[in-house]
C-alpha cells in the first residue's frame, strides 16, 4: 500500500519541476491526481507520465492568480474524482533579482499575486471541499527564502514568508476540523528557476553552488517525497510546520 493509497490529490504547478515530481509521487503512492497548471503541454505530459506508470490523473488548465479560474479548477478536480483529500499548492514564480530600493513595483505585485494570493485562493476553495469530506491535508510550497532573508530576492522572499504565515494561520484555524496545513521549504533545487538564474546571473549561480553544504543542489523528487509524506497519515500529528528541505543551506 502506498502512503496515500485511495486518496485524491491536487497539485498546482504540476507541469514541470517540483510540481511534476509531486504529481508523479502522489500517483506512485496510490493517489488519483489532478494536475493543475497554466502550461497545457507540460501538464498533459505529466498526466501521460503518470498513466504510463499505471496511475490515474487528469490535467486542468488554470492560472492560480485568477480567482475564477482557481474556483473552476478545484470544482473540476472534485467532479473528476468525487472528492479532494490532499493538495500540494506548489505553483509560484521567482521574479528578477534586485536590491530592495530598486525593485520594480510591477514585479512586486506579480509575485504577491501569484505566490501569496494564488496560494490563498487555492486554499480558499480546497478547504471547503475537504471539510465536506471530514478532513484533509494541504501542503504549500514556500522556500528556504521564506525562512531566512536572501539578498536580491526581496519580493520572492517576502512572498514566501507570506506563504509560511498563511500556512500557520490556516493550520490553527482548521486543526480541530480535521484539516492539517503544512509548508515545504525547498532550498536551491535543479528546476527551470535555477536554469534561468544560471543564464541571467552566472556569478550568483556559481556562488550558490560554492556555498552548498552537501556540494550539490537538490532534486525535485526530494521535495516531492516530503510533500507527499506531509499529506499522508504517517504525518498525522504534523500541523502548522514549515519543513525545510535544503541540504543544510539554512543550518548556518
Which residues, 6+ apart, have CB-to-CB distance to 165 below 8 Å?
Answer: none
Cβ 172 vs Cβ 240: under 8 Å: yes
Q: Is the pTM of this model over 0.85?
A: yes
CA-closest candidate to residue 118, choices 84, 92, 143:
92
Cell digits of residue 18: 517540483
Domains in the chain and their CATH numbers? Answer: 8-245 (3.40.50.720)
Reply yes or no on whether the pLDDT at 195 is more than 90: no
Cell digits of residue 204: 550568483
Catalytic residue from among 156, 161, 229, 249: 156
Cell digits of residue 84: 479532494
| Residue 174 annotated as catalytic | no
pLDDT single digits (tens) 77-96: 999 999 999 999 999 999 98
pLDDT single digits (tens) 123-170: 999 999 999 999 999 999 999 999 999 888 999 999 999 999 999 999
pLDDT single digits (tens) 25-81: 999 999 999 999 999 999 999 999 999 999 999 999 999 999 999 999 999 999 999
Amino acid at each position: 500500500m502506498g502512503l496515500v493509497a485511495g486518496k485524491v490529490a491536487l497539485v498546482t504547478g504540476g507541469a514541470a519541476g517540483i510540481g511534476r515530481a509531486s504529481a508523479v509521487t502522489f500517483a506512485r503512492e496510490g493517489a488519483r491526481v489532478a494536475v493543475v497548471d497554466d502550461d497545457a503541454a507540460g501538464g498533459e505530459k505529466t498526466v501521460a507520465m503518470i498513466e504510463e506508470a499505471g496511475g490515474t490523473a487528469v490535467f486542468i488548465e488554470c492560472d492560480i492568480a485568477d480567482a475564477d479560474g482557481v474556483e473552476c479548477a478545484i470544482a473540476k478536480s472534485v467532479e473528476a474524482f468525487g472528492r479532494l483529500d490532499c493538495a500540494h499548492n506548489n505553483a509560484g514564480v521567482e521574479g528578477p533579482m534586485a536590491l530592495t530600493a530598486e525593485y520594480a513595483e510591477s514585479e512586486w505585485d506579480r509575485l504577491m499575486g501569484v505566490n501569496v494570493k494564488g496560494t490563498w485562493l487555492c486554499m480558499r476553495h480546497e478547504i471547503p471541499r475537504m471539510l465536506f469530506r471530514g478532513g484533509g491535508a494541504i501542503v504549500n510550497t514556500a522556500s528556504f527564502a521564506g525562512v531566512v532573508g536572501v539578498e536580491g530576492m526581496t519580493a520572492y522572499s517576502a512572498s514566501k514568508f507570506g506563504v509560511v504565515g498563511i500556512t500557520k494561520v490556516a493550520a490553527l484555524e482548521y486543526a480541530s476540523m480535521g484539516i492539517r496545513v503544512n509548508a515545504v521549504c525547498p532550498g536551491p533545487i535543479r528546476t527551470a528557476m535555477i536554469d534561468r538564474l544560471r543564464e541571467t546571473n552566472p556569478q550568483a549561480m556559481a556562488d550558490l553552488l560554492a556555498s552548498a553544504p552537501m556540494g550539490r543542489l537538490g532534486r525535485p523528487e526530494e521535495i516531492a517525497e516530503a510533500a507527499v509524506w506531509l499529506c499522508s497519515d504517517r504525518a498525522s500529528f504534523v500541523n502548522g510546520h514549515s519543513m525545510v528541505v535544503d541540504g543544510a543551506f539554512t543550518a548556518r
